[in-house]
Amino acid sequence: MTNRILLSGTEWTVTGWNRNQWKLGMSMELGFSINPMLPAVKAVVPGAVQRDLIAAGWLPDPNEGLRSMELEWVNHRDWVYERRFEVPEDWVQDRCELVFEGLDYSGFIYLNGEEIAAFDGMFLPVTIDVAAKLHVGAGNENRLQLVFLPSPEVDGQIGYSNEISKVKSRFNYGWDWCPRMVPVGIWKDVSLRTYSALKLIDFYPKAVPAEDGEGGVVKYGLEAEIWGPGSYTLASELVDADGEIVHSDELTYELRRGGINRIEYEMSIEAVRRWWPNGYGEQPIYQARITVYDAEGRVCAADGKTVAFRTLQFVQNEDSPEGALPYTLLVNGERVFLNGVNWVPISPYFGGVTSEDYAHYLGRFKAMNVNVLRVWGGAITEKEDFYAYCDRNGLLVWQEFLQSSSGLNNCPPDNAAFLKELARVSRAAVIEKRSHPSLMAWCGGNELMWENFSPVDERHGNIAMLKKLVEELDPGRPFFPSSASGPRFGATEEEFGKGLHHDVHGPWLYLGEGNHYRFFNHNDSLMQTETGTPGTSRVERIRGLADRMPPWPPTRENAYWLHCGAWWIQWEQLSDMFGPWDKERDELEQYCQASRYLQLESLRYMAEATRRREPRSSGFIIWMGNEPFANNANTSLLEYDGMPKPVYYAMKKVFGGLHVSAQYERLSYRAGESFGSEIFLHADRADQRSLPFAVEAQLVQADGSVIQSQRFLAEAGRLNGYIGKLEWQVEDVPGSVLILRLAVCDEHNQQLATNEYLFTMNVACPLEPLRRLPAAEVRLRQGDRPEELVVANLSEMAAVGVYLIQRDAGQLIHLDRNYLTLLPGEQLTVTSMNGPVAPEQFYVEGMNLGG
Q: Return the CATH number at 278.
A: 2.60.40.10
pLDDT at 26: 65
Whether residues 608 and 667 share a domain: the answer is no
* Buried residues in 297-322 as b, exposed as e (16+ CB within 10 A): eeebbeeebbbbbbebebeebeebbe
CA distance 216 to 699: 53
Give the residue from 290, 233, 360 showing the smallest Cα distance to 639: 360
Of the candidates 738, 761, 784, which is a domain's last residue? Answer: 761
Instruction: Give the Cα separation of 333 and 173 in Å (integer).
Output: 43
* Residues 179 and 96 placed together within one structural domain of the fold: yes
pLDDT in tens, 629-671: 999 999 999 999 999 999 999 999 999 989 999 999 999 999 9
Q: Which residues contact 23 (CB under 8 A, 6 or more apart)?
A: none
Residue 322 domain-assigned (yes or no): no
What pLDDT, on the 0 to 100 scale, is given for residue 257? 76
For residue 372, list its beta bridge partners: 340, 396
Residue 324 lies in a domain: no
Average pLDDT of each block of 10 consecutive residues along the chain (851 residues)? Answer: 88 95 67 81 98 97 97 97 95 94 97 95 96 93 97 96 96 97 98 93 94 90 89 94 92 83 90 95 96 91 95 95 95 96 98 96 97 97 97 98 96 95 97 96 97 94 98 96 97 96 97 95 97 97 96 97 97 97 96 98 98 95 97 98 97 94 96 93 73 89 93 72 91 91 89 94 93 95 97 96 94 94 96 95 93 59
The answer to whether residue 840 sits within a structural domain is yes
Separation CA 182–CA 171 (nearest Å): 9
Residues 608 and 692 reside in one and the same domain: no
pLDDT on residue 732? 86
Contacts of 342 (CB under 8 A, 6+ apart): 373, 374, 376, 529, 530, 621, 622, 623, 624, 625
Q: Residue 718 has what pLDDT?
A: 55
pLDDT value for 570: 97
Q: Are 432 and 383 in contact (CB under 8 A)?
A: no
> Residue 45 domain-assigned?
yes
Q: Which helix (H) or strand (E) holds 768?
A: helix 768-772
- Please name the helix (run of DSSP H) or strand (run of DSSP E) that holds residue 708, with its range, or none: strand 706-714
Is 709 a member of any domain?
Answer: yes
Give the domain-ending residue among 260, 287, 307: 307
Indicate if 614 and 688 belong to the same structural domain: no
CB atoms inside a 10 Å sphere around CB 725: 14
Do 158 and 208 belong to one domain? no
Q: How many domains does the chain have?
A: 5
Co-location of 541 and 683 in the same domain: no
CB 660 within 8 A of CB 678: no
Same domain (yes/no): 588, 674: no
Say how many residues make up the chain. Answer: 851
Distance CA 172, CA 349 (A): 9
Q: Report yes or no on 385 lying in a domain.
A: yes
**End-of-domain residue from the set 307, 323, 346:** 307
Note whether residue 422 is domain-resident.
yes
Tell me how far apart the alpha carbons of residues 397 and 306 are, in angstroms, rounded to a whole number. Answer: 15
Contact, 292 vs 232, CB < 8 A? yes
Asked whether residue 318 is domain-assigned, the answer is: no
What is the pLDDT, as a whole number, of residue 174?
Answer: 97
Is residue 215 domain-shared with residue 258, that is, in the same domain? yes
Q: Are residues 388 and 280 in the same domain?
A: no
In this predicted structure, what is the pLDDT of residue 713?
A: 87
* Residues 291, 265 share a domain: yes
Which residue range forms the structural domain that includes residue 835? 774-851
Dist CA 569 CA 633 (whole Å): 7
pLDDT of amino acid 30: 46
Residues 293 and 401 in one domain: no
Judgement on whether residues 472 and 600 belong to the same structural domain of the protein: yes
> For residue 601, what is the domain's CATH number?
3.20.20.80
